[in-house]
Structure 1
Amino acid sequence: MNTKKLIAAVLFIGFCLVSQAQTTNNKKNNNEQDNLAKEYFSQIMGVAIKATTNTKLYQFVYDWLGTPYRLGGDSKKGIDCSKFSLAVYENVFNTTIGYNSRNQYANVTPVNRKDLQPGDLVFFKIRSKSITHVGVYLGDDKFAHASSSKGVMVSSLKEPYWNRYYYNGGRPKPEVSETMTADASSYKEENNK
């Protein structure tokens, strides 16, 4: 009887060790893949690796790069700046932030430029007294946005044009909830293949 218990105990311990080793290997592989993704997005978007903390954010932006600009658009066929930032927030952060740049600004807590974090919104007043443009901050003074001339792209807040018209940064308030949503079906369809 003691021999059977001893064999069962040894088998159980062996099973636990094998299971733990597999879990450790899976975590190691996931960390390696995440690090490779961070390095890749860092190079593509010009953001330091240490700033690429949210791989899902960078993957989403990457998937939309080059999408043409279309005023009022909300799909891969064409999108405007506020619908792009709305789509980022809905798909990356599971949060709805408002349907236009002024409405989005009303739903954020202002953040100083030096305190911006990846995922914060950046707002611009371009030749206007009111907010006319919005983007999503990526880190290292870079932000993703839907430019009226080049579509979805990554730009630098240090560029003279964006520096000149920069108004403020903002972080969505926790209680923000809007009913307007962006059509991200094309994103979901393309990535579920």
Structure 2
Amino acid sequence: MKTKKILASMLFIGLCLVSQAQSTKTQSKPESDPDNLAKEYFSQIMGVAVSATTNTKLYQFVYEWLGTPYRLGGDSKRGIDCSKFSFELYDKVFNTTLGYNSRNQYSQIKPVKKDDLKAGDLVFFKIRSKSITHVGVYIGDNKFAHASSSKGVMISNLGEAYWRRYYYDGGRLPDDNKSLTAEILNAEKSDKFN
């Protein structure tokens, strides 16, 4: 009987100490900053120093969308397809409007060699097709963000055999893209109504 009381007392004291340690830890921990979370996440997966991640807005956008399910024609966090993902990214991060599908987006870019890609450039793929079927946004270190039909918004490596096989081209928008963008959007809108 005495042993049970001693064990119960020790257990009670132990729980009090653990509870106090957790509340002290919680109080001293600063609130997490979403910008820092995105920087830390990308510095870990890309193996670069946090201070070297230059485009915080780009990484923050991708970080917030990771895991969003794929949905053909989708344009929200309930589901999104590859071209709408790049469209939304360019709209929110670069304040630039792209075409509504991967082929139209490709028509807007100035091609860039794979070795010269920079964060924010678009990468295009011809997956089991003669025409462009997929688009992603290059984020650096041979990695790109995209909405995969099997896994949703994710980060992949251009060096993986699958992506090497289907890679078509990469590029960036020229500085004089605004007039071209307006023409493409007007053409797409008129196609939708016809």
Aligned to 1:102: 103
8 Å contact kept, 1:117–1:137: yes
**What TM-score results when the alignment is normalised by the length of structure 1?**
0.71
Aligned to 1:122: 123
Q: 1:138-177: CA deviations, max 9, x gaps?
A: 0010000000000000000011000110011010122242
Distance 1:146 1:99 in 2: 14
Please identify runs of 4+ aligned residues in structure 1 that moved more than 6 A. Answer: 33-36
Matches for 1:147-186 after TM superposition, within 5 Å: 147-174=148-175, 175-176=177-178, 177-178=181-182, 179=185
Rg larger for: 2
Aligned to 1:48: 48
Secondary structure at the residue paired with 1:145? strand
Q: How many residues align?
A: 147
Secondary structure at the residue paired with 1:163? helix
Structure 1 pair 51–104 and aligned structure 2 pair: CA distance change class (3 A): farther
Q: 1:51-103: CA deviations, max 9, x gaps?
A: 62100000000000000000000000000000000000000000011110000
Identical pairs, percent: 72
**What TM-score results when the alignment is normalised by the length of structure 2?**
0.70
TM-superposed CA distance for 1:35, in Å, is 7.3
Distance 1:47 1:132 in 2: 30
Aligned to 1:89: 90
Aligned to 1:113: 114
CA-based RMSD: 2.0
TM-superposed CA distance for 1:136, in Å, is 0.3
TM-superposed CA distance for 1:37, in Å, is 5.2
8 Å contact kept, 2:35–2:60: no
Aligned to 1:135: 136
Q: Highest relative contact order (Cα 8 Å, sep 6+), 1 or 2?
A: 1
Structure 1 pair 34–100 and aligned structure 2 pair: CA distance change class (3 A): closer
**What runs of 5+ residues in structure 1 fail to find an aligned partner?**
1-32, 181-193
